[in-house]
Amino acid sequence: MKYTYFPVLVIGLSLLVIAPAFANTPELVEKIQDRYQSISSFQGRFVQRNYINQEQKPREAAGTIAYSRPGKMRWNYETPDEQLLVTDGNTLWLYDPLLENVTVQVLQEVTQGTPLSFLLGAGDLTEEFTQRPVSQELTTVKDALVVELVPSSGLGELDFIQLGVRPDTFDLQQIVLMDSQGNYRILEFQEMAYNLELDAQQFHFEITAGMEVIRANE
């Protein structure tokens, strides 16, 4: 069975942990929010590791990521299978080249109050999540400041998230998403560059003839 790695479709232990610093001050969450809101665009690479109960090794995927304010984002999965998630701020396209299909959704219907809403620059961590002491050591970035946040309103399977940020700039380095079944995924951001001039066309998906189109909620 092919595994889907798209980070927003399933919102919601043994691993080497490199001594992160846990910070429980509300000011840190505000600094993370303020720093992210100051970014007009970024691009880089990501690694996603999914830790599933009863599986000895995590499922890993990697690719490139790009973001442009307001609300435009592109996740290009390169390994283990090519997949593409792209949004122009209104529509979300999920493209699987192997199956030759694309799922089309209204962005707001799948992001409101979720971690992706924060990444798109639309959400507010201080309003949509409640901070609490870090319950488990899950982040793996050396010297990161770590905060743990619980959704203020129910988000289905999502139990909590952890954010790992650079202590000098508060740039986001990792996101951990834990579900209610004890499964979690880690998104790590690498080789990041900020406030760039990006081609707007990469945040649009062109549906071509012969492609199967699946429209969600229809």
The CATH fold of domain 21-193: outer membrane lipoprotein receptor (LolB), chain A (2.50.20)
**pLDDT value at position 16?**
27
User: What's the pTM value of the predicted model, to 2 decimals?
Assistant: 0.83
**pLDDT value at position 19?**
37
The predicted-structure confidence for 123-152, as pLDDT tens digits, reads as follows 788 888 899 999 998 999 888 999 999 988
Q: Please state, rounded to an integer, the average pLDDT across all residues of the chain.
A: 85
Under 8 Å between Cβ of 94 and 9: yes
**pLDDT value at position 4?**
57
Lowest-confidence region among 115-124, 147-156, 166-175: 115-124
Q: Which pair of structure tokens corresponds to residue 166?
A: 């650079």
Model confidence at 10: pLDDT above 60: no
The predicted-structure confidence for 17-74, as pLDDT tens digits, reads as follows 333 455 567 789 999 999 999 999 999 999 999 999 878 899 999 999 999 998 999 9
The distance of Cα 41 from the centroid of its chain, to the nearest Å, equals 15
**pLDDT value at position 126?**
85
Under 8 Å between Cβ of 128 and 117: yes
